[in-house]
Amino acid sequence: MAPFPNVAPKSTLKYCAVEGPGVNLRPVPPSRPAAPTPRRRVGRPAQISRQAIAEAAYEVGLGNLTLTAVADHLGVSVAGLYHHIRGKDDLMRLAAEHTASRVEVPLDHGQPWAAWLSEWAAYTFDAFVAEPLLLDQFLAGAISAESIAGTTDAILGVLVRQGFTIGDAHAAYQATSSCALGNAVKAVREARARAGGRSDAAEQHRVLDQHGPDELPYLRRLLACLVAERPDGLGAGLTTTLAGIAATRDEPWQPVAGLVQEALAARRA
């Protein structure tokens, strides 16, 4: 401790001349150090939950989903997320379930059941193609029955009100959903192949080139048909599925193709 606490040590004193005879110097106390900047008070950490994380993941989007992105969206640290989720895979499952729970069935305004199911199939197809990672999670069994229970109940209700038994309603729902899902898998697979510089058609042609011209004749005809006509896989599949349902119900099946096309055209508008 300095012997004179109110005087700075000699080595730190500065001097200035004082007017008058001779050379007189007087010490100038050193300037006081700047007052420290007050520390910013840290507020209480953001309150989060699995539900809040699920909503943030939905807003971020499955295609951009990372732990860091969700943490930044919520204003918390990645470590804070681990109090509620087990890791990236758990986050993906949580986001997929939340997305599935937000599905809205088409409005029932009295349209024929075939038209309504076509709208449902188109919605399902578009949702999976738009979010391929949602499709991956669905196929992996990550979407629980609980998260889609409300959707399932609403769909069954529409069909039962149009004269289906509960068993027939469930069968029609399953057949239509399977058609939409199968076409979505095909579309996502083809999109990923194109992104990787491949295509199904190119692979098929490569296989044909390895065989004689008289071999695999039906595959050759199919490829020629696909190139010439470019059929709508979803529309064709739905027409076959729904026409079959109409036939089993002893209803006219001929109008089904027109109802399917109208529903698909409306969704593109």
* Residue 10: band (very low, low, confident or very high) from pLDDT cuts 50, 70, 90: very low
> Domain check: are 230 and 122 in the same one?
yes
> Domain check: are 118 and 93 in the same one?
no
Q: Is 60 exceeded by the pLDDT of residue 243? A: yes
> Domain check: are 239 and 170 in the same one?
yes
Is residue 264 assigned to a domain?
yes
> Domain check: are 60 and 126 in the same one?
no
Q: Is 90 exceeded by the pLDDT of residue 247? A: yes
The total number of structural domains that make up the chain? 2
> Domain check: are 152 and 80 in the same one?
no
Q: In the prediction, which pLDDT does 203 show?
A: 84
Is residue 5 assigned to a domain?
no
Mean model confidence pLDDT for the chain: 83
Q: In the prediction, which pLDDT does 63 show?
A: 84
25 or 214: whose pLDDT is higher?
A: 214
The enclosing domain of 194 has a CATH number of 1.10.357
Range in 11-15, 64-68, 87-91, 177-181 the model is least confident about: 11-15
Is residue 45 assigned to a domain?
no
119 or 43: whose pLDDT is higher?
A: 119
> Domain check: are 171 and 57 in the same one?
no
> Domain check: are 120 and 150 in the same one?
yes
The enclosing domain of 92 has a CATH number of 1.10.10
Range in 31-35, 75-79, 120-124, 153-157 the model is least confident about: 31-35
> Domain check: are 114 and 179 in the same one?
yes
Is residue 151 assigned to a domain?
yes
Query: What is the average per-residue pLDDT within 236-254?
Result: 96
Is residue 31 assigned to a domain?
no
* Residue 66: band (very low, low, confident or very high) from pLDDT cuts 50, 70, 90: very high
| Structural domain for 124, as ranges | 106-268
> Domain check: are 222 and 254 in the same one?
yes
> Domain check: are 70 and 123 in the same one?
no
* Residue 13: band (very low, low, confident or very high) from pLDDT cuts 50, 70, 90: very low
> Domain check: are 168 and 254 in the same one?
yes
Query: What is the average per-residue pLDDT within 104-133?
Result: 92
Is residue 233 assigned to a domain?
yes
The Cα–Cα gap between 256 and 259 comes to: 5
Residue 90 to residues 66, 103, 240, Cα–Cα distance (Å): 11, 21, 38
> Domain check: are 82 and 114 in the same one?
no
